[in-house]
Amino acid sequence: MKIVELPIEFEFNGQKNYIYPSLIIVNNELTLVDTGYPHFLPLIEHEISKNGYEMNQLKNIIITHYDDHIGSLYDFKEKYPWVNIIASEVESAYISGEMKSERLIQAEEMLKNMPNEEKEFGKWFIQQLKNITHVSIDEKVRDGDMILDKKCRVVATPGHTSGHISLYFPDLKCVITGDAAVHENHELTIANPHFCLNIEEADHSLRKIKNLKADTYYCYHGGKLSLS
């Protein structure tokens, strides 16, 4: 078993940006964690093949939360219909479209009071969320569930969103944080605190994953942090 970081480069407002989905390999089967913005499918496929893996090995996609992490989920499910989609019970309601996303509600509210120089990004972000095609979830998980041949423990890390999950791998001493943490200046900090739906819960969740004392943290924003 191993985890591979997938650095995805893209441009926004003429600047280079990166996100870092993760690829988990267990018994020659692939599990992708998070799918980036809409139309990122080819970028992620390219990174997977660059690491020597075939897309027909893709068995699961785990979504840490509804946000900029599910933009290409529908594209993946359309192209690879056998893929098993995994998310928390709370986030499943938003991803499947049963409920309006709490992130979209928040973004629409924040736009009303945004400074003019930030409104372009605010409108763009709202449109990204509205462009997302809903996908039904195949497997709903809860805090403490052991998945992927019992090699991965689901860790509830609410705060950024209410149903956010992170993934802990005891054998590898690794955590995939999603947006429960961001790697900044060789430290784990709260990701985008002004976008957190509950900052107290986000702080508690950050302490929770730090207390796992992992050697490596795979952050969706900022990339991998190695502490060993």
More confident residue, 120 or 4: 4
- pLDDT digits over 111-126, tens only? 998 998 889 888 988 8
pLDDT for 14 equals 85
Amino acid, res. 6: L
Determine the Cα–Cα distance for residues 6 and 23; give it in Å rounded to an integer.
Answer: 7
pLDDT for 164 equals 97
In terms of C-beta density within 10 A (0-12 exposed, 13-18 middle, 19 or more buried), how is residue 226 classed?
A: exposed
Work out the pLDDT band at 5, boundaries 50, 70, 90: very high
Q: What is the mean pLDDT of residues 86-98?
A: 95
Determine the Cα–Cα distance for residues 85 and 77; give it in Å rounded to an integer.
Answer: 8
Work out the pLDDT band at 211, boundaries 50, 70, 90: very high
Q: Which of 61, 68, 65, 53 is nearest to 8 (CA)?
A: 68
Determine the Cα–Cα distance for residues 203 and 190; give it in Å rounded to an integer.
Answer: 7
- pLDDT digits over 11-63, tens only? 877 889 999 999 999 999 999 999 998 899 999 999 999 999 999 999 999 99
What domains are there in the chain, each with its CATH number? 2-226 (3.60.15.10)
Q: What is the mean pLDDT of residues 95-99?
A: 94
